[in-house]
Amino acid sequence: MSSGGRTKIVRLLQDGEAGSEVTVKGWVRTKRGNKNVAFIALNDGSTIDNIQIVADVAAFDEALLRQITTGACIRATGRLVESPASGQRVEIQAAELEVYGTADPESYPLQKKGHSLEFLREIAHLRPRTNTFGAVLRIRHAMAYAIHKYFNDKGFVYLHTPIVTASDCEGAGEMFTVTTFNLDNLPKTEAGKVDYAQDFFGKHCNLTVSGQLEGELGAMALSEIYTFGPTFRAENSNTPRHLAEFWMVEPEMAFYEIEDNMDLAEDFIKSLVRYALENCMSDLQFLAKMYDPELIDRLKFVVENDFVRLDYTEGIDILMKSGHRFEFPVSWGLDLQSEHERYLVEKHFKKPVILTNYPKEIKAFYMKQNDDGKTVRAMDVLFPKIGEIIGGSQREESYEKLAARIAELGIPEKDVWWYMDTRRFGSAPHSGFGLGFERLLLFVTGMANIRDVIPFPRTPKSAEF
Ligand code: 4AD
Ligand code: MG
């Protein structure tokens, strides 16, 4: 029960026994009262709820009580008693109070309640102390745990794919170069190009945009793997759904065809949302109350209903016949924008949609080619309020077809020889997908901006600490 010489507030509020002697430690949310009695609301991050500490003013040094202001960190020891106040089962009758750290009310940025999310983004170092970010960060943790649990229960192996990689053929976006060169004095080849042969790794390296290609190497031996780690994209997309550093979950499965892949993706998301409903209810209720009254209904709806499965070509048809005016006009071959995805999901079907069989031109080289010569076995899972939450595909397992596609796209064999080896030796049908972890969190928390579901967001022109 006790950790760090205290009991966590979540435990006391749930099943602390009235009459017992307890110690709590945490940060003061508010202090109010009169000349006889002080009420301190204390939070230690273990739950959205505060515990109330009641202090008899006469029993404490006046200077000590004055230091107990919003934001200060304190210890309180005393008797847990049934609370006469409504909305809380128990409170603490303080016998001892100790101040660990004061927070000057003149300068503490969270002195008042009700700051805007924009303002809190500017003080991301302190925002975990707010109710909102406490709730979001606990849910983020719960979802990370649920992801590992889901795959572990199914016998998938967690494969750690590299963050620094020389592979740049995914085509998923612009990359960040990793180098130890002195940028003011770059070694050059005779042709005047930067000579990466002299760099740390002896070649041009970058931060990974996806663990998939290495994930496939694992799947072709362990049969079912997943990766879960940070990925990086240097695209200059300043939208509420893009980060330059985000986390991705990428399962990769030998012997799965596209239908198996869709079944897994749907079951996976439903199971994560169910986990949130079963384990994060007080945080969800808080977020629903503050930001998004329909949040919990929307989560239940996703768990209880089948996703629509639709061909890209049918999707384009629906969009063209919709009569809706889109910013990007619709025609076959279009790389769908978020406005199109959201139209299908929110207006037309009112359900999550899995879109398949996209034109090969707008998808990556490794996707399995259909017999029509035009489309590939891609699948994107599209969600209300978010658009694309998952991107994946069945992979091309034929060496000949893959080699032909690589040649067509001008990808040098020397860059992908190791990837091609999986098709050269013991190739097998296989599939996989990538779930954007922060996109999932946008859905589960109901937050509207992706900067508010990651502790330390990295976006263009923004990377404090
Ligand atoms: O669709 P993407 O680019 O797919 C891949 O990278 C594949 N290699 C995945 C695979 O098949 N293993 O990215 C996958 C998901 C997207 O659906 C989206 O949810 C998320 O990653 N994502 C981003 N999330 C936040 N910020 C960004 N800039 C993102 N780009 C993609
Ligand atoms: Mg995608």
The stretch 407-416 carries a mean pLDDT of 91
Ligand 1 near 437 CB (within 6 A): no
Closest-approaching ligand to the CA atom of 459:
1
Q: Which ligand is nearest to the CA of 242?
A: 1
> How many angstroms separate the CA atoms of 379 and 262, rounded?
8
Q: What is the dihedral of CA 20, 2, 135, 304, to 10 degrees?
A: -90
* pLDDT at residue 1 is higher than 60: no
In this structure, which residue's CA is closest to atom 1 in ligand 1? 391
- β-partners of residue 249 are 228, 435
Q: With contact defined as beta carbons under 8 Å apart, do 409 and 444 qualify?
A: no
212 Cβ inside 6 Å of ligand 1: yes
Model confidence at 464, pLDDT cuts 50, 70, 90, reads confident
For the Cβ of 233 lying below 6 angstroms from any atom of ligand 1, the answer is yes
Among protein residues, the one whose CA lies closest to atom 28 of ligand 1: 242
Q: What is the pairing mode between strands 21-33 and 37-43?
A: antiparallel
Tens-place pLDDT, residues 425-459: 999 999 999 999 999 999 999 999 999 999 999 99
The rounded distance, in Å, linking the Cα atoms of 69 and 10 is: 22
Dig out the tokens for 108 from the structure.
């503490």
Q: Which two tokens stand for residue 443?
A: 């859905």
Tell me, using a 6 A CB cutoff, whether residue 368 lines ligand 1: no
Q: Please, are residues 142 and 274 in contact by the beta-carbon 8 Å criterion?
A: no
Which amino acid type is present at position 83?
Answer: S
Which residues 6+ apart lie within 8 Å of 168 measured at CB? 175, 204, 206, 415
The residue nearest atom 2 of ligand 1, judged by CA position, is 391
Is there an atom of ligand 1 within 6 Å of 172 CB? yes
Q: How many CB atoms lie within 10 A of CB 193?
A: 9
Dist. CA 435 → ligand 2 center (Å)? 9
Report which ligand 1 atom has the smallest distance to the Cα of 389: 19
**What Rg value do the Cα atoms of the chain yield, rounded?**
27
* Among protein residues, the one whose CA lies closest to atom 25 of ligand 1: 242
**Ligand 1 pocket test, candidate residues 156, 165, 176, 210, most atoms within 8 A of CB:** 210
Q: What is the pTM of this model?
A: 0.96
DSSP helix/strand/coil, 219 = helix
Q: Which domains does the chain have, with CATH numbers?
A: 9-111 (2.40.50.140), 127-173+209-452 (3.30.930.10)
Structural element, H or E, at residue 308: strand 308-311
Between the CA of 301 and the centroid of ligand 2 the distance, in Å, is: 24
Q: Which structure tokens are listed for 310?
A: 């639709």
Kindly state the DSSP code that residue 307 receives in the 8-state scheme. Answer: P
243 lines ligand 1 (CB under 6 A): yes
Which residue shows structure tokens 């859905």?
A: 443
Query: DSSP letter at 112?
Result: S
Indicate whether residue 242 lines ligand 1 (CB < 6 A): yes
User: Using CA atoms, how far apart are residues 145 and 78, in angstroms rounded to an integer?
Assistant: 34
Q: What is the 3-state secondary structure (H, E, C) of 233-261?
A: CCCCCCCCCCCCEEEEEEEEEECCCHHHH
* pLDDT of residue 131 exceeding 90: yes
- The atom number, within ligand 1, closest to the CA of 235 reads 28
* Ligand 1 atom nearest to 380, measured from its CA: 17
Closest C-alpha to ligand 1, atom 3: 172
Q: What is the pLDDT of residues 368-410, one digit of tens each?
A: 999 999 999 999 999 999 999 999 999 999 999 999 999 999 9
- Cα(380) to ligand 2 centroid in Å equals 7
Q: How confident is the model at residue 3 (pLDDT cuts 50, 70, 90)?
A: confident
Cβ(325)–Cβ(317) under 8 Å? no
Structure confidence at residue 379 (pLDDT): 98
3-state SS of 338-349 is: HHHHHHHHHHHH
CB 272 within 8 A of CB 279: no
CA 353 – ligand 2 centroid, Å: 14
For the chain, what percent of residues have pLDDT higher than 70? 98
Q: How far apart are CA 208 and CA 211, in angstroms?
A: 7
Whether residue 432 has its Cβ less than 6 Å from ligand 1: yes
Distance from C-alpha of 67 to C-alpha of 60, rounded to nearest angstrom = 12
- The position carrying tokens 């991107």 is 391
Half-sphere exposure of 43 (CA within 13 A, CB side): 20
Q: What is the bridge-based pairing of β-strands 245-254 and 224-232?
A: antiparallel
Mutation to probe ligand 1, out of 225, 247, 439 (largest number of atoms < 8 A from CB): 439
Positions of E strands within 65-204: 73-82, 90-101, 157-158, 164-165, 177-178
> What pLDDT score does 270 carry?
98
